[in-house]
Amino acid sequence: SHSPVSHSPLSHSPLSHSPPLSHSPLSHSPPLSHSPPPLPPSHSPLSPSPPPDAAHAYSRSNRPAHPSGPQFKFALPKKHSHGLLALAHHHQKQKDDQPSDPARSPARSPSASFVNLTRFFKHHNPSAQKQSKLSQNTMPFADDHAGLFRKYGKFGKVIGSGAGGSVRLMKRPSDSKTFAVKEFRHKAPFESDREYTKKVTAEFCIGSTLHHPNIIETLDIIKEHTHFYQVMEYCPYDLFACVMSCRMSREEIYCAWKQILNAVCYLHSMGLAHRDLKLDNCVIDQNGIVKIIDFGSATVFKYPFEHDIVQAVGIVGSDPYLAPEACSNLKYNPAPVDVWSCAIIFCCMILRRFPWKIPRLSDYSFKLFVSPTDTQDTPVPISSVPPVIKGPDRLLRLLPRESRLIISQMLDTDPLSRVTISQVWNYPWIDQDLAMCTLDPAGLLITSGSHKHTLIAADGLEKQPIHSSKRKS
């Protein structure tokens, strides 16, 4: 059937007798650097996260936090474009806003980071490797004042801006194809030309190496005088907006989530971890194909033909999606962090709220989740208050029964025993039972199952997908 998932508030669920999972609405989550400090443990509800911006989805880090009622409000904002700006500025804003915080900025020089990327590209993209070597002394990109406009037309409307730059639409006159073009921020006074160039081009080097149906295509980078412009594939729809619409069927949710898992499998097979997976960083094309964006936080965790894991350090990402080990200053394997984030995305799509604000013991909902399960069978008097539900079942009992085992393994607080993304992908329920739409090597749509994809445009109206060329799997 194609009946949408019930969107009644969580307070009406069986968990209503215990403190709620979280009173934080499923809003665009701000990065940790912009979030208020976590509240101490309390039996009172946590303060809600900032609601979606009424203007657009691209100034998430600038949204003031203001309280709302304890009941979960799930309303579509007046304007909501897709989250492509996350690819454009989100991670760079984190770096710009916190240059002196060693906890959130790993202590390594830009040149050291670029050497690591060079080592990665040596095997995966020889052309990028050659380009990286050239960039140490010269600029390998087009330095033509009219080059951008000659290739991609004139600037259209601004779809977002932030500390890392601004993103505009550009429509190519020759074929009327639309692109999202990011103009990077200006060079800071304390940066040398070489440092600035490496910071700006590192994200392009990673993005241009990745080619997968569920990953956004990074197409070009052009330098005009002192300005850098990155050209990207444009997807006009937003997974977050689709979830907010409450129109997604259960089968459609499964399809979208499996597409995300497919992309993460590809990234990990390349030795890359995204480190900032969330609904905000997933956009959708006109055929319902989900694509991951924003590789500003991506890091190499394993080099080709090597077995050693390269540890990451620093708090990177958004609070509700973070894994516990990523909330400290200690080094950690970034691959299990992506697995945890995928599980949180699933919970958000099913429940339409965050399980907790941040995975720390100072968060009461998370503290209950990691608490030992109470196995006592002591009868509770009718007149007394029902006991608080502790342990993983506090969350898992709200999810579809068939998903509980694998989600519990993805939310293992020990990263060493947490399942890998390959194990998740090969889990029988996911591998055999979940339908997933995709693209064949020629770019033709392969539909799977009987579901239709909900597409929410910037004006908040639902639009039907356009299947010009497709075939059934």
CA 59 to chain centre: 16
Looking at the DSSP bridge assignments, the partners of residue 446 are 438, 471
* Token pair belonging to 438: 């995709």
The answer to whether the beta carbons of residues 23 and 33 sit under 8 Å apart is no
3-class DSSP state for residue 299?
strand
Residue 470 assigned as binding residue: no
Compute the distance between CA of residue 173 and CA of residue 14 in angstroms, rounded to an integer: 56
Give the amino acid at 310: V
Whether the CA torsion 431, 305, 419, 319 is positive or negative: it is: negative
Task: List, as one string, the DSSP characters of 306-346.
Answer: ------B-S--SBGGG--GGGGSSS-B-HHHHHHHHHHHHH
End-to-end CA separation in angstroms for the chain? 19
The answer to whether the beta carbons of residues 364 and 303 sit under 8 Å apart is no
* Token pair belonging to 148: 């951008």
Strand 445-447 to 470-472 pairing: parallel
Give me the long-range contacts of 413-419 (CB less than 8 A, separation at least 24).
Answer: 413/324, 413/370, 415/323, 415/325, 415/332, 415/333, 415/336, 415/337, 418/336, 418/339, 418/340, 419/339
Active site residues: 276
Give the amino acid at 303: Y
Compute the distance between CA of residue 258 and CA of residue 322 in angstroms, rounded to an integer: 20
| CB half-sphere exposure, 207, CA atoms < 13 A | 24
CA-wise closest residue to 310 among 319, 302, 298 = 302
Compute the distance between CA of residue 300 and CA of residue 274 in angstroms, rounded to an integer: 9
- Angle ∠(367,373,379) on CA atoms, nearest 5: 120
Q: Scanning the structure block, which residue is given the tokens 């081009």?
A: 201
* Token pair belonging to 410: 């993805």
Whether the CA torsion 349, 352, 357, 361 is positive or negative: it is: negative
Compute the distance between CA of residue 245 and CA of residue 238 in angstroms, rounded to an integer: 11
Instruction: Give the helix/strand (H/E) hosting 394.
Output: helix 393-396
Cite the annotated binding site for ATP by residue number: 182
